[in-house]
Amino acid sequence: MNTPRGKALQTVMAVLEEGAYSHLALRHALQDANATDAAFIKQLVYGTLTYRRSIDYLLEQWLSRPLASLTKPIRNVLRLGLFQILYLDVPDHAAVNESVRLAHKVGHKGVAGLVNAVLRRAVRSKARLPWPETDSAAYDLSIRYSFPEWMVERWLRRFSPAETEALCIAHNNSPDTDLRVNSLRTTVDDLLQELQTADIPAVKHPLVRNSVQVAQVSLPELPALQQGRCTVQGAASTLVGQVVDPQPGQLVYDVCAAPGGKALHLAELMRDKGRVLALDVHAGRLSLILQAAERLQISSVETRCIDATKLSSQRWELAERVLVDAPCSGLGVIRRKPDIRWHRSESAIQELAALQLAILAEAASLVKPDGVLVYSVCSTEPEETTQVIASFLADHPDFAPTHWPEQLAQIWGPELQDGCLYTYPHRHGLDGFFICRLRRSM
């Protein structure tokens, strides 16, 4: 079980059978793995978790008894094996033989034979898989692309079946790694040159300035990262800071700041001149901001531990810019956190929307007259986005949607509506984000 596939099996079992968090279970599995094995283990684990519903549906078509009746190790050996056959670029014979070898270790000769038979049938069926064809587009898409049916139903209410399918596909595709250039230390062109010298393929992001797209490679040893010339941050997240558009010398609040990527970006945009006050309810996570600030050589960021729903319990100096990057369902970043689809519920979205509105209302009290309040979430669900803004504006007539900075408006103008923007993985190649820019009246 000390092979990459064995470690992947243990990790998948921990997540699917014991309720472990994938990133924590993976951390344990990768402790002693070299870079090549670690990459393969992560592929196996995240891929199997991503396509779990599709895999289970197909296995049920080929098994003579319910999948649930098999022992936990054997059903997960089958899941890992089928993922390799259908979704991973490995030879079919290797996927089958290694799965059978694993089955011998965790079961007896009979179940190893079952694994062999089922996976060989899968190989023969690859060209014509038995996907469902029913009157329910939500059900069919949820099985084919492995999403909870309720989630697909929500998307079908907003998009056509064809666009919903495109969104599902985009959520299942692994994204590139985005690097935010630390403009205090280097330039995009210089960072690209540094990456090219290191034989790391990279390009300027086509929609977000100061962001660089890097092909999926291991980056921890990259000198530019270690020495603070850049930091890993999704391009849509980088766009949020640019919408805030803080100016040198201003006071800026980031009220849900940890782990600090956006707060530090705000400081960079201000040329590290002024004050960025990073607030968060989790004291331990605030230390991550200070560690990152040291690496990036930023001195204008301060931290304070406070619950963002209780900001009005203290006195604050009013600020020119306030950012609320609120806790959310995270359904816009499924491609980066594939198993999040299985940890969310529709009722949780409603609960989060109430929290988001409460935080936004509290944060509004920190904004100076003529100051800017930016609201963002890594979700595109209406309850967490436009509905939060509509409720907030109904209760706060001194705020109104405002124009975006000119450079951003030139790029996004046709898609901006009342100071708000949705980004989507299938339309823009960006994570699913919602960003709204509001201004307080004089």
Dihedral (Cα; 204, 35, 5, 146), 10-degree rounding: -20
Q: Active-site residue 168, yes or no? A: no
Tokens of 53: 């519903």
SS3 assignment, position 433: strand
**Which residue in 415, 367, 359 sits closest to 391, CA to CA?**
359
Is residue 206 a contact partner of residue 178, using CB atoms and an 8 Å limit? no
Structure tokens belonging to residue 333:
């970043």
Angstrom distance (rounded) from CA 10 to CA 20: 11
* Beta-ladder partners of 204: 212
Residue type, 203: V
Name the pairing type of β-strands 202-204 and 211-214. Answer: antiparallel
DSSP category for residue 234: -
How far are the Cα atoms of 239, 270, 321, 433 from residue 248, in angstroms, in the given order? 18, 4, 12, 26
Which of the 8 DSSP states describes residue 417?
A: B
Strand partners, 374: 323, 437
Q: Is 14 helix (H, G, I), strand (E, B) or coil?
A: helix
- Beta carbons within 8 Å of 256's beta carbon, 6+ residues apart: 279, 280, 308, 324, 325, 326, 327, 359
* Ordered alpha helix ranges (H), 297-385: 346-364
Burial (CB < 10 A; 0-12, 13-18, 19+), residue 410, is exposed
Q: Which amino acid is at 144?
A: R
Q: Cα separation of 269 and 244, whole Å? A: 10
Q: Which of 145, 118, 120 is nearest to 132 (CA)?
A: 145
Q: Considering 168, 256, 378, 436, which one is annotated as catalytic?
A: 378
- Angle (CA) 150 156 161, round 5°: 125
Write the CB contacts of 299 (distance below 8 Å, at least 6 apart in sequence): 272, 293
Any idea of the CA torsion for 331, 333, 170, 201, to the nearest 10 degrees? Answer: 180
Q: Are 212 and 179 in contact, with CB atoms under 8 Å apart?
A: yes
State the catalytic residues.
378
